[in-house]
Amino acid sequence: MDDDGNVTGTAAPKTVKVYANRQDLDFETVRELEPHATIDLLPPEHGEEFGDGTIDYPLRPAGRFQGVSCVTFYFSDNYAMTEEDDGEDKVQTEITFVGLKGKGMNVKRRAVECVYETRGMKKDHKVPDEMGGSHFV
């Protein structure tokens, strides 16, 4: 941190919380919700010691992560944070790579029905008026 109190530099993440099949999460929710798994990550010095290889963190129990369609990772702290920081981001967390391993399921891909509009067409958007009827915008 510089003399003005601005955040400078980055640090490696220390802890990651993993949530499975939860698409409704935001930062407030993950702070209160019990994760499916919590992983304590190795310090960055570990990578310097053993080269630039990857480190695998198996998720246990494995059954908890079978049939998962959505995974959320919450990196709650980093190696520059201290106990006195009280959750404040004094130094930003830098994540350079996240990889996932697992066995794919034999699921047939299906088309997703969606509508993209580059420019809204007035005739497509009905707006109710005060009298209970509707008119086009």
**Residue 60 — very low, low, confident or very high, per pLDDT cuts 50/70/90?**
confident
Q: Which residues have C-beta within 8 Å of that of residue 12, sequence separation ≥ 6? A: 41, 43, 44, 78, 79, 93, 94
Instruction: Write the burial class of residue 124 (CB in 10 Å: 0-12 exposed, 13-18 middle, 19+ buried).
Output: exposed
Nearest CA-CA partner of 74 in 127, 122, 38, 41 = 38
Task: List C-alpha distances in Å: 42 to 48, 89, 136.
Answer: 11, 20, 59
Q: Is the dihedral of CA 8, 11, 15, 20 positive or negative?
A: positive
pLDDT at 137: 47
**Residue 17 — very low, low, confident or very high, per pLDDT cuts 50/70/90?**
very high
Look at 91 and 84; give whichever has higher pLDDT.
Answer: 91
pLDDT above 70 for 3 = no
pLDDT above 90 for 122 = no
pLDDT digits (tens, 9 = 90+) for 49-58: 666 677 888 8
Residue 13, phi then psi, degrees to nearest 5: -65, 150
Look at 17 and 49; give whichever has higher pLDDT.
Answer: 17
Q: Specify whether the CB–CB gap between 41 and 12 falls below 8 A.
A: yes
pLDDT above 60 for 136 = no
pTM exceeding the 0.75 threshold for the entire prediction: no
Average confidence (pLDDT) over 118-128? 63
What are residue 128's DSSP bridge partners?
Answer: 134
Q: Is the dihedral of CA 57, 60, 64, 67 positive or negative?
A: positive
pLDDT above 60 for 131 = no
Look at 1 and 120; give whichever has higher pLDDT.
Answer: 120
pLDDT at 39: 93
